[in-house]
């Protein structure tokens, strides 16, 4: 069995390059490269992870206790969450700066 571009094929089967749709398929690696996700710094990743986690927690709790979801209340919660998140980041930076002096 031979290999063509990492894909196994036999003599009687067609190579992957014979299918133009296969050549232009969108792969997860292409999506990551196009969006620049790998170039995100740690700070941005933490903000996104925190916002997603808080958002999911808020939505599930609101649905569990009230049974209805309001986009405006969720938006206000997300804004307040990100402000507090950034505030704690600044507080930690300030504490580390004064500790090192």
Between 40 and 9, name the one with better pLDDT: 40
pLDDT at 101: 78
Stretch 59-85: mean pLDDT, rounded?
95
Do residues 65 and 83 share a domain? Answer: yes
Do residues 71 and 96 share a domain? Answer: yes
End-to-end CA distance of the chain: 67
Domain with 33, as residue range(s), is 1-39
Do residues 101 and 53 share a domain? Answer: yes
Do residues 91 and 74 share a domain? Answer: yes
Q: What is the domain count for the chain?
A: 2
Longest dimension (CA), the chain: 73
DSSP states of 23-83 as a string?
HT---HHHHHHHHTGGG--HHHHHHHHHHHHHHHHHHHHHHHHTS---HHHHHHHHHHHHH
Average pLDDT in the chain: 78
Do residues 19 and 51 share a domain? Answer: no
pLDDT at 43: 83
Q: Is the C-alpha dihedral spanning 46, 52, 53, 54 positive or negative?
A: positive
Do residues 67 and 79 share a domain? Answer: yes
pLDDT at 29: 66
């Amino acid at each position: 069995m031979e290999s063509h571009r990492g894909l196994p094929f036999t003599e009687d089967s067609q190579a992957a390059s014979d299918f133009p749709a296969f050549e232009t398929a969108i792969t997860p690696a292409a999506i990551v490269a196009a969006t620049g996700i790998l170039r995100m710094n740690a700070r941005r990743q933490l903000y996104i992870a925190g916002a997603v986690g808080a958002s999911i927690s808020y939505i599930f709790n609101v649905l569990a206790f009230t049974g209805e979801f309001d986009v405006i209340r969720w938006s206000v919660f997300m804004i307040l969450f990100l402000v507090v998140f950034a505030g704690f980041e600044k507080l930690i930076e300030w504490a580390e700066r004064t500790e090192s002096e």
